[in-house]
């Protein structure tokens, strides 16, 4: 039997890499920092006026879906590149983006599943949502600028990728057009553009300002992370943050620098993940099997693990590399029929200054 997994798991780019356990772990580090140790650095924001960087982001999603004997696999990957510049404006700075390009990895994106093909197109469109924004003297977001211009640019780009006069979809995929229309309204909305504008910047700059961190130290703690948009108020997580014992060489243009490198691993408590996975489209296999067999499916495994690493200049929070990976897996059983989804998202960002 072949199961219809549906299209509700298609998600916007802003949610594609935003982990519910990932947004605030730097803030948790700030809370537990402050103990006097040797080689302690207080991270601060001090980017020089006019600094420019070539930024390259490699993203990938590998997913396996299985229900009974029906197994589907997908590999969606692409590379986003752009130039980022910081310019002083009044008491703050304008962070602007130019030469934005996104290329799909055609070899990786070989899945013939229609939902995977459409997800690839949505990733291609969502990747170029890169509006300029203004930050204050501490690197905190003040406002997103020229949203209307970004909307017009995205609408033109959308039309070039998914033209209105495209060939009709195959029989059985009638619901896809409605899904595409819904996604278009999300991508072109002011709310979406504003929300995704500075999400990476906040991760490697804003949320780190004022953190005191020691070389060669590890921190382990439990916390409750909020789940935006969920009926669950918070989910328990266990996090380990560690730093390398020494500063490592890095290079900003022609200048040799010394950077601090640290990483974090967060494991979410399975309790409460069922609703979260449902909202992220990870329960489609379970629903498909229940509909096909008429049997109640029970979750047998749920996990969400997040890994982050950052290499940055400690005195001014100028990043040189930022890596992120998240694995989500869910298995279930329905009276002899098993199924599940195992999904891994990765993102690798490199900065070359000139």
Q: What is the pTM of this model?
A: 0.81
Which is it for the CA torsion 111, 349, 22, 271, positive or negative?
Answer: positive
Rounded Cα distance, 304 and 169, in Å? 35
Distance CA 10, CA 16 (A): 9
Helix H or strand E segment including 15: helix 13-16
C-alpha 334/C-alpha 290 separation (Å) is: 8
Q: What pLDDT, on the 0 to 100 scale, is given for residue 199?
A: 83
Per domain, the residue ranges of the chain are 13-353
pLDDT at 175: 63
pLDDT tens, residue order, the chain (354 aa): 444 444 334 444 434 334 344 445 555 555 555 444 557 889 999 999 999 999 999 999 898 888 778 888 888 888 999 999 999 999 999 999 999 998 888 665 666 666 666 777 777 777 778 899 999 999 999 999 988 888 888 888 888 876 666 666 666 555 666 777 777 888 888 888 888 888 889 889 998 898 888 899 888 878 776 554 445 556 788 888 899 989 999 999 999 999 999 899 988 888 767 666 666 666 666 776 677 677 788 878 888 899 999 999 999 999 999 999 999 888 888 777 788 889 999 999 999 999
In this structure, the number of other CB atoms found within 10 A of the CB of residue 159 comes to 12
């Amino acid at each position: 039997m072949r199961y219809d997994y549906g299209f509700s798991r298609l998600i916007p780019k802003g949610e594609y890499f935003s982990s519910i356990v990932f947004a605030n772990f730097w803030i948790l580090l700030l809370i537990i920092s402050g103990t006097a140790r040797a080689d302690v650095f207080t991270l601060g924001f001090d980017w020089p006026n006019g600094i420019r960087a070539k930024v390259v982001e490699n993203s990938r999603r590998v997913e396996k879906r299985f229900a009974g004997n029906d197994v589907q696999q997908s590999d969606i990957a692409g590379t986003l590149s752009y130039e980022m510049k910081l310019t002083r404006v009044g008491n703050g700075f304008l962070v602007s983006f130019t030469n934005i390009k996104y290329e799909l990895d055609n070899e990786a994106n070989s899945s013939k599943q229609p939902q995977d093909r459409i997800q690839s197109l949505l990733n291609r469109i969502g990747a170029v949502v890169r509006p300029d924004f203004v930050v204050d003297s501490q690197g905190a977001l003040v406002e997103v600028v020229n949203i209307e211009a970004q909307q017009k640019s995205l609408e033109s780009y959308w039309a070039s990728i998914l033209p209105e006069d495209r060939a009709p979809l195959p029989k059985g995929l009638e619901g896809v057009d409605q899904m595409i229309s819904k996604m278009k309204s999300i991508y072109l909305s002011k709310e979406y553009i504003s929300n995704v504008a500075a999400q990476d910047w906040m991760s490697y700059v804003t949320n780190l300002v004022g953190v005191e961190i020691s070389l060669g130290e590890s921190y382990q703690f439990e916390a409750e992370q909020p789940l935006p948009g969920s009926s669950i108020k918070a989910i328990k997580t266990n996090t380990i943050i560690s730093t390398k014992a020494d500063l490592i060489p890095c290079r900003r243009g022609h200048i040799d620098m010394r950077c601090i490198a640290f990483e974090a691993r967060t494991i979410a408590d399975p309790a409460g993940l069922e609703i979260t996975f449902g909202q992220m489209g990870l329960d489609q296999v379970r629903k498909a099997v229940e509909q096909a067999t008429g049997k109640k499916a029970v979750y047998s495994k749920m996990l969400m693990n997040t890994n982050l690493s950052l290499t940055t200049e400690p005195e001014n929070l100028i990043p040189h590399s930022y890596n992120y990976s998240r694995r989500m897996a869910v298995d279930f059983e329905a009276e002899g029929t098993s199924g599940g989804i195992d999904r891994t998202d990765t993102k690798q960002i490199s900065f070359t200054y000139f």
